[in-house]
Amino acid sequence: MKLNELKVYSQNNFDKEIIERMSKDSEENLNNYIINVVCDLIQNIPIDESLICNAKKNINNSNEENIAKISTYIALIPYVQLKLKDRNDGYIIASSLIEILISYLVGCVEEITFDNKLLEIKQILEVSDVFYKELIHYFAQHKDIIVDNISKKL
């Protein structure tokens, strides 16, 4: 599936806004964004070397669905920041989402907690079920590219 093909699945204005912004750039750039965020978080946050090793192992051993959820989570965080920019607690919410992501990548947060945060992102953005499902599907198809490039950079 191509990124532009996700437009067909947009069910509301929020879906349309997200896919319009995402599709202004190339699929390659979106995938590179995901790759760079994961690598930057793992490499540039001061964490124990054992946690970095856990993150590498977790990413390399992840299935399509897991990589797709991580990628969707990362791809949607900027939209959460935009949506909550006028709220006093917007920065705190966005920061906590990033903390959960890091904790999940290094294996300190259970999958159910991560999945619940991803659903929270979906709810904050009012993303439709159809669009959400297809966004996950889109990233699942790019699992090998994402994992291979993360592995090369780490």
pLDDT of 18: 94
Instruction: Render pLDDT for 97-145 as a digit per residue (tens, 0 to 9).
Output: 999 999 999 999 999 999 999 999 999 999 999 999 999 999 999 999 9
- Which pair of structure tokens corresponds to residue 143? 């699992």
**Residue % of the chain over a pLDDT of 90:** 79
Domain borders along the chain are: 3-153
pLDDT of 123 reads 96
Closest to 35 in 3D by CA, of 125, 135, 108, 144? 144
pLDDT of residue 106: 94
Quote the radius of gyration of the chain (alpha carbons, Å): 15
